[in-house]
């Protein structure tokens, strides 16, 4: 039964009360004209803490990082017009990776909407293609129930960002406040249980498999199914891979883990993906960076079981044989029950083949280099943090090396923009991660180009004393762009070289942090140790790395996943 | 292949643009789209005529179902159904052409609903092919203006789309 609450509140008070009711700990935001009444109410209470960022993109990324590392819905608050347009990149980033966020946006007063008012934009229109859902609240009486719905929609089913656009006058108007306990929507009822008949078929396929492979994505992380996944994979003795978004769902140091697959996946993971006879895909979507060319992928016959909460992710790029729509932990539990401990066929021949692929040692690099190799920095980062850090990243080569060389044994430790590929994500996301996990070790792996896209957040880190360690792999190039230009554009490095880079050490100091320049391989480990020992300080480590280093293996765009360029080929 | 998709959707501001936006964002085709409230004012019924391979149509229905405001979706063309479209067509009808034009409208069971010295406005209902056929049958120079609603569809017999 709904609790009786019959207080009359203004719209602004309602917004803050709703956030309190939802147990929101942090709101990441930036004030402005249209949200002044909401900010006034935030000022009058201390349950919901506000984190003042330096740019709205940072607010949404921080809320995103907070959510990814805490399992809670992230909340951002921005003003109308430019506040919204600045937030768009963050919203799209969260949408592509299915991250539950509620983004509250101010809007010009209802009577001014459509009149090209100051700081007006069509927020609902602009954000429509990049949200799970959005609302424009025109009547204060609908405000509380809309916010309730927003949290519900964001967190259930396939999660995603929800925008609630609130005109300024609605925040001033008053009405009876009543926060509903439950949400009923006839048009929105996400499934939980998978179809029993389909699960039975899946079990049969798994038990009959001679060359099975388990391929899991972000869905396993988001649905917290990593315990069930580990149990299943261990019991069956199957090899397993994780996508970029799925790293940590299965422990990277386990023998049954073949590493990440895809464009920069390991040789063994990509070969197993292509040559398996039964593929169990869980919470993954066969995207272009994972299976490359779908026609090439389809050349090898295999049976595919696909478990996902979102029916539209199934048979989108690749036809599957046994689709199972449902919440992954529920489906895996049912699968495990049906398996009753049976192990399936002897697959030692398959493992032998896989070990042969492993012997290629596809991630090797020149360890004797007198110049710092980025891979070496990441290996040392892993050692120094004992694999226990939360690692956020930006986008590019450093992201791929981090995914390859930092061995994630737990889910929700690897925080990156996989779908949209947003440069500038790493630092603000790390702020959210650090706030959600006070006292934990947080590293932001970035490059000299990415870090400059949300650099202003160094100031936020100072204000809230966030002791993030920034691992800047500085090769003076937009590395991934440079790599593509080397491979596919005849070494014409068009606009990918960054001249006039700032002195990052001084820059960090300018923001009140510590900065260290590292240019000798021998200094990498001691400097990392010293930085991570500084529990209370943000330390900006500027590693001057090999400008010519490339990420291997690489599947060129449009190629099949076994058509890899390997280090040894060169 | 041509498909006719029926959608029940919450009658809320923005629902139409959400659906139209989905089609344009994902590169799906819209041949026609009609929408109006149902007997239950909280819901609208939309009919979209689209075309695409079976895979594309499957994605379209899945993506539509994913929209929060969409209550139900069916592909009418999967089974027996009826479709109708309304056309208003203004044609040249001076003294010379009047007789012929009236006869043509009769053959197609159209009705003349407005008359001026030199024009007729004809109302014609039928499936899309019938309306196309009428336009084809006319002297092209005689057509001044056409306006079509796009197809509306409903399942035959016990095949219904309701909550």
First-to-last C-alpha distance (Å) of chain B: 28
- Residue range A450-471: mean pLDDT, rounded: 98
Q: Does residue A172 have an active-site annotation?
A: no
Q: Is the Cα torsion angle A371, A375, A379, A380 positive or negative in sign?
A: positive
- pLDDT tens per residue, range A385-400: 999 999 999 999 999 9
Contacts of A153 in chain B (CB under 8 A): 68
Q: What is the mean pLDDT of chain A?
A: 97
Rounded Cα–Cα distance for residues B116 and A354 (Å) = 83
B162 and chain A: CB distance < 8 Å anywhere?
Answer: no
Say yes or no to pLDDT of A547 above 70: yes
- Residue range A220-224: mean pLDDT, rounded: 98
From the list B9, B18, B71, the residue facing A128 with the nearest CB is B18
A235 and chain B: CB distance < 8 Å anywhere?
Answer: no
Question: Where does residue B97 rank: exposed (0-12), middle (13-18), buried (19+ CB within 10 A)?
Answer: middle
Which residue pairs from A504-512 have beta carbons closer than 8 angstroms and sit at least 24 positions apart in sequence? A504/A448, A504/A451, A504/A472, A504/A474, A504/A540, A504/A542, A505/A540, A505/A542, A507/A455, A507/A458, A507/A540, A508/A458, A508/A470, A508/A538, A508/A539, A508/A540, A511/A458, A511/A459, A511/A461, A511/A462, A512/A462
- Residue range A75-84: mean pLDDT, rounded: 98
From the list B21, B59, B68, the residue facing A133 with the nearest CB is B68
What ipTM did this prediction achieve? 0.93
- pLDDT tens per residue, range A8-20: 999 999 999 999 9
DSSP string, chain B: -EEEEEEEEE--TTHHHHHHHHHHHTT---SEEEEEE-SSTTEEEEEEEEE--HHHHHHHHHHHHHSTTEEEEEEGGGS-EEEEEEEEEEEE--TTTHHHHHHHHHHTT-EEEEE-SSEEEEEEEE-HHHHHHHHHHS-GGGEEEEEE---EEEESTT-----
Cross-chain Cβ contact B68/A136 below 8 Å: no
Q: What's the pLDDT band for A570 if we cut at 50, 70, 90?
A: low
Percent share of chain A, pLDDT over 70: 99
Q: What integer pLDDT is reported at residue A569 of this predicted model?
A: 75
- pLDDT tens per residue, range B61-71: 999 999 999 99
A contact residues 119-158, partner B, Cβ 8 Å cutoff: 124-125, 128-129, 132-133, 136, 153
Contact A276, A212 (CB under 8 A): yes
Q: What b/e readout covers A178-194, taking b as 16+ CB neighbours within 10 angstroms?
A: bbeeeeeeebbeeeeeb
Say yes or no to pLDDT of A322 above 60: yes
Contact B105, B114 (CB under 8 A): no
Q: Does residue A56 have an active-site annotation?
A: yes
- Where is pLDDT greater, at A342 or A204? A204
Q: How far is CA A330 from CA A191, A199, A227, A248, in A?
A: 10, 11, 12, 20
- Residue range A194-206: mean pLDDT, rounded: 97
Q: Does pTM top 0.90 for this prediction?
A: yes
- pLDDT tens per residue, range A89-131: 999 999 999 999 999 999 999 999 999 999 999 999 999 999 9
- pLDDT tens per residue, range A186-197: 999 999 999 999
Contacts of B65 in chain A (CB under 8 A): 311-312
Other C-beta atoms within 10 Å of B24: how many? 12
């Amino acid at each position: 039964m709904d609790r009786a609450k019959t207080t009359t509140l203004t719209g602004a008070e309602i917004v803050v009360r709703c956030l309190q009711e939802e147990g929101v700990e942090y709101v990441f935001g930036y004030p402005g004209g249209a949200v002044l009444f909401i900010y006034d109410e935030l000022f009058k209470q201390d349950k919901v803490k506000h984190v003042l960022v330096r740019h709205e993109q940072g607010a949404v990324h921080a809320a995103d990082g907070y959510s990814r590392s805490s399992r809670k819905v992230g909340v951002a608050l921005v003003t109308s017009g430019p506040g919204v347009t600045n937030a768009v990149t963050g919203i799209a980033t969260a949408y592509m990776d299915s991250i539950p966020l509620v983004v509250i946006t101010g809007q010009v007063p209802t009577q001014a909407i459509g009149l090209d008012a100051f700081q007006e934009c069509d927020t609902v229109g602009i954000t429509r293609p990049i949200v799970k859902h959005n609302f424009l609240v025109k009547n204060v009486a609908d405000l509380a129930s809309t916010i309730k719905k927003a949290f519900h929609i964001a967190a259930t089913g396939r999660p995603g960002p929800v925008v609630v656009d609130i005109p300024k006058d609605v925040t001033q108007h008053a009405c009876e406040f009543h926060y509903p306990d439950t949400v009923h929507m006839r048009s929105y009822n996400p499934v939980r249980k998978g179809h029993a008949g389909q699960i039975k078929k899946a079990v049969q396929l798994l038990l009959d498999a001679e060359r099975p492979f388990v391929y899991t994505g972000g869905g396993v992380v988001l649905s917290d199914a990593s315990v069930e996944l580990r149990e299943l994979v261990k019991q069956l003795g199957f090899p397993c891979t994780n996508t970029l978004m799925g790293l940590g769902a299965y422990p990277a140091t386990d023998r049954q883990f073949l590493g990440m697959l895809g464009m920069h996946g390991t040789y063994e993971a990509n070969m197993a993906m292509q040559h398996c006879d039964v593929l169990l895909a869980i919470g993954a979507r066969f995207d272009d960076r994972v299976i490359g060319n779908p026609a090439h992928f389809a050349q090898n016959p295999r049976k595919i079981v696909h478990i996902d909460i979102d029916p539209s992710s199934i048979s989108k790029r690749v036809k599957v044989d046994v689709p199972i729509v449902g919440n992954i932990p529920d489906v895996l539990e049912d699968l495990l029950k049906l398996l009753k401990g049976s192990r399936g066929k002897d697959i030692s021949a398959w493992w032998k083949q896989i070990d042969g692929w492993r012997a290629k040692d596809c991630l090797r690099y020149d360890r004797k280099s007198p110049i710092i190799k980025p891979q070496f920095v990441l290996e040392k980062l892993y050692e120094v943090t004992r694999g226990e850090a939360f690692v956020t990243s930006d986008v590019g080569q450093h992201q791929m090396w981090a995914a390859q060389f930092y061995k994630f044994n737990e889910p929700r430790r690897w925080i990156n923009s996989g779908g949209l590929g947003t440069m500038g994500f790493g630092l603000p996301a790390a702020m959210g991660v650090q706030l959600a996990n006070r006292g934990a070790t947080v590293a932001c792996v970035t490059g000299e180009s990415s870090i400059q896209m949300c650099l202003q957040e160094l100031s936020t880190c100072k204000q809230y004393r966030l002791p993030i360690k920034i691992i800047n792999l500085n090769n003076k190039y937009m590395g991934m762009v440079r790599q593509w230009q080397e491979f596919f554009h005849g070494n014409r490095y068009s606009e990918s070289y960054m001249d006039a880079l700032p002195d990052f050490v001084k820059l960090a100091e300018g923001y009140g942090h510590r900065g260290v320049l590292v240019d000798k391989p021998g200094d990498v480990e001691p400097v990392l140790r010293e930085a991570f020992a500084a529990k209370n300080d943000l330390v900006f480590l500027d590693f001057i790395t090999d400008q010519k280093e490339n990420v291997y293996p690489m599947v060129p765009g449009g190629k099949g996943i076994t058509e890899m360029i390997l280090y040894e080929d060169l | 292949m041509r498909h006719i998709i029926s959608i029940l959707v919450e009658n809320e501001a923005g629902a139409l643009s959400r659906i139209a936006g989905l089609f344009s964002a994902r590169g799906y085709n819209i041949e026609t789209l009609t929408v109006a409230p149902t007997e239950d004012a909280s819901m609208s019924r939309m009919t979209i005529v689209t075309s695409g391979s079976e895979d594309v149509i499957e994605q379209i229905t899945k993506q539509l179902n994913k929209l929060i405001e969409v209550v139900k979706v069916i592909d009418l063309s999967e089974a027996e159904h009826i479709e109708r479209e309304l056309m208003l067509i203004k044609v040249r009808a001076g003294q010379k052409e009047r007789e012929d034009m009236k006869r043509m409208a009769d053959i197609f069971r159209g009705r003349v609903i407005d008359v001026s010295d030199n024009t007729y406005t004809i109302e014609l209902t039928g499936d899309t092919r019938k309306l196309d056929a009428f336009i084809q049958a006319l002297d092209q120079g005689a057509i001044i203006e056409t306006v079509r609603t796009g197809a509306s569809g409903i399942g035959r017999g016990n095949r219904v789309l309701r909550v």
